[in-house]
Structure 1
Amino acid sequence: MSAATTAQAVITGLGTAVRGLDGPGGLLGPLPAGHRSAADPVSRLTGRGLRYKDRATKLAMTAARDALDAAGLLDGAGELTVPGESVGVVASTNYGNCDTVCETVQTIAESTYLGTSPMMLPATSSNVVASWVAITHGLRGANLTLCNGPASGLDAVNWARLLVAARRVERVLVVGVEPDNAAVRHVTETPEPDGTDDTDAVPELFDGAVALVVESLASAEARGVRALAALGPYARRGDHAGAVAKVRALRPGPVGLWCVPEHPAGVRAPAPALGASAGSAPVHDLSALYGPSSGALGVLQCATAAVWLADHDDMVLVSAGTGDAGGDDAGAALLLTAPEALAVAGSAA
């Protein structure tokens, strides 16, 4: 097996926890009308210890379990089938435990620290989502939380690739999650729903989680698990167009689908960045379909790319963060391909 094949990072499992979304296969289309009244995915969680967990953590746990199961890492009883130290966790969320933090601050302001709950205080840490996912499944590898703005989700996927390439772990569970609640709407200055039927009056924020398993192609082959997508070039730049241009320079070729940033108005990669052979790539705006997704967007995009590549042999370009054009701190871009295509490229190299 070539070094290129051994180092190649692939996606082997997907999981979702979004109202109205019946598994990852639905990511290529819009949510059904009235999806907010559909069954809450958190209701699939059972057992003790859920009372003191915030909504973001419960959503992440739901999606994480499905991704691990889809990747063949759980047995029929839900137990891990590989050593716990071989699996790491990278979570991306900008507002995950905002409700817990706001509630705790208010309690301290009104009753001093004596009014706080010892059960709730640990949940004010920004790494609570990644920690509980790891504890739940006994994942003892590297554990990271990213909360660095719109590009956070794509950064998380790239960190997973780096951890695998550095042999810190054999595989990484990546989770992107954002809740829609009063605290998040307060800090993002998004108005609360007023109970009317005018759905255009109040924007719907993304309320859910998506998870994916990243591991080396060699690891997937050794376990006999099918790779869903391969991670190609990644770039992070001060402007969105620069990030897109960099990955396209590293990997030219036709782009079959482009998952655009959260604020795509006026943000388009220049024609040379896409390349003449790419043609006009269809745009898939997940934020328009699911609501502003913040730190979950990049992971949501990569899961969508994996679904697309199940039936296509071209590339998917995903990009998040508008950089200077939209007031974000950076823009990031990543190319994903069918694993078979990169295997051929690696052999040719």
Structure 2
Amino acid sequence: MSDVATADAVITGLGSAVRGLDGPLRLLGALPDGHRTAADPVGRLTGRGLRYKDRATKLAMVAAQDALRAAGLVDESGGLTVPGESVGVSASTNYGNTDTVCETVRTIAESTYLGTSPMMLPATSSNVVASWVAITHGLRGANVTLCNGPTSGLDAVNWARLLVVSGRAERMLVVGVEPDNPAVRHVTGVAEGRADGVPDLFDGAVALVVESGASAAARGVRALAVLGPYARRGRHAQAVAEVRRRRPGPVGLWCVPEHPEGVRAPAAGLGAGVGSAVPVHDLAALYGPSSGALGVLQCAAGVAWLSGRPDEMVLASAGTGDAGGDDASAALLLAGAGGAV
């Protein structure tokens, strides 16, 4: 059994903003039929200034609010319970404000820059999601945005861990978000209204709070999972092999990359016993292509799976690397709060 207080980084809060999903602990199952007609989580936002925020930012704000509250970092009124400079933001999104950028380009083409709005131009920056989340909650710590292709979500989780371990931030809010809108469909080439059984693009956000074990213990909050080793390599097998080398032991669940055909996790030591198969969880197949949100989705699903399994491990992997034509693959291990770190 491990002493969580000595862990480099632990997860202490989760939040989600996905139609038809009533919380991040539901990420182990498929979305219910008709989820696209369920209440839009963005409807939970109130106050001024929402008109000029894109959908990705609004989704991220909802998920972030839930994660901060679950971790005990905000009270019922939404006020921070810790100094703002102690909390940073690490966001992952590849298509977040594509709609704003495309609309701005179209406006300039038709009316020159004179037709643009001073309220909208700042929203064309790729870091707009992380910035608005930080501004909304007064989070004045390190602020980074990852737009790094398929591995982006796991990269964002790892950067949060690095910032915590290095002392740059006591705790980090990680957000993975991707919107489904005409601009994103145009860029990705995904048609609307695809065949039955083929999921639409993912439209939502997931957030988690990462902090040191010592910080969690000092605040008296429960660690939901421990962040294990991370690796990013040119090949999927190499990334997985590296994290397994650094943290051996049986893995109870494998979260696979999008389009995992031809991608195999090294079998040695992966299962609970000799020759046993590892359960596979394909979030992209359940919720649709998730791009930069996938790695954060995987970590949240891994935390849900580890609930009640304190001595187990989850392997999250994103990007197929050379096997599937991606430029890289990333792998990260999550351990239950009662397991070795």
Question: TM-score, structure 2 length as denominator?
Answer: 0.96
For the residue of structure 2 that corresponds to 1:211, the secondary structure is strand
Deviation per CA, 1:277-297, whole angstroms, max 9, x where unpaired?
A: 473110000000000000000
Mapped pair 1:190 → 2:190: yes
Cα shift at 1:203: 4.5
What 5-or-longer segments of structure 2 have no aligned partner?
none
Using the alignment, how far apart are the partners of 2:268 and 2:250 within structure 1? Answer: 13
| Structure 1 residues 320 and 87: CA distance shift in structure 2, 3 A | same
For the residue of structure 2 that corresponds to 1:91, the secondary structure is strand
Using the alignment, how far apart are the partners of 1:203 and 1:274 within structure 2? Answer: 29
The 8 Å contact of residues 199 and 287 in structure 2, kept in 1 or not, is answered as no
What is the one-letter code of the residue matched to 1:207?
D
Alignment of 1:170-181 (within 5 A): 170-181=170-181
Residue 324 of structure 2: aligned partner:
326
Residue 300 of structure 2: aligned partner:
303
Residue 73 of structure 2: aligned partner:
73
For the residue of structure 1 that corresponds to 2:241, the secondary structure is helix
Cα shift at 1:29: 0.5
What is the one-letter code of the residue matched to 1:90?
S
Residue 314 of structure 2: aligned partner:
316
What is the one-letter code of the residue matched to 2:283?
L
Residue 264 of structure 2: aligned partner:
268
The 8 Å contact of residues 252 and 275 in structure 1, kept in 2 or not, is answered as no
What is the one-letter code of the residue matched to 2:330?
A
What 5-or-longer segments of structure 1 have no aligned partner?
none
Q: Name the stretch that deviates more: 306-315 or 52-61.
A: 306-315
Using the alignment, how far apart are the partners of 1:203 and 1:73 within structure 2? Answer: 35
What is the one-letter code of the residue matched to 1:152?
S
What is the one-letter code of the residue matched to 1:103?
E
Residue 222 of structure 1: aligned partner:
218
Using the alignment, how far apart are the partners of 2:199 and 2:9 within structure 1? Answer: 36
Using the alignment, how far apart are the partners of 2:304 and 2:271 within structure 1? Answer: 24
The 8 Å contact of residues 245 and 273 in structure 1, kept in 2 or not, is answered as no
Using the alignment, how far apart are the partners of 2:237 and 2:14 within structure 1? Answer: 29
Alignment of 1:31-42 (within 5 A): 31-42=31-42
Using the alignment, how far apart are the partners of 1:5 and 1:15 within structure 2? Answer: 23
Q: Structure 1 vs Structure 2: percent identity of aligned residues?
A: 79
Using the alignment, how far apart are the partners of 1:6 and 1:324 within structure 2? Answer: 37
Q: Name the stretch that deviates more: 311-320 or 211-220.
A: 311-320
Instruction: Return the structure number with greater helix share.
Output: 1
Using the alignment, how far apart are the partners of 1:106 and 1:274 within structure 2? Answer: 50
The 8 Å contact of residues 244 and 273 in structure 1, kept in 2 or not, is answered as no
The 8 Å contact of residues 60 and 129 in structure 1, kept in 2 or not, is answered as yes
CA-atom RMSD, angstroms?
1.7
Residue 255 of structure 1: aligned partner:
251
Cα shift at 1:172: 0.1
Residue 124 of structure 1: aligned partner:
124
Cα shift at 1:4: 8.9
Residue 233 of structure 1: aligned partner:
229
Question: TM-score, structure 1 length as denominator?
Answer: 0.94
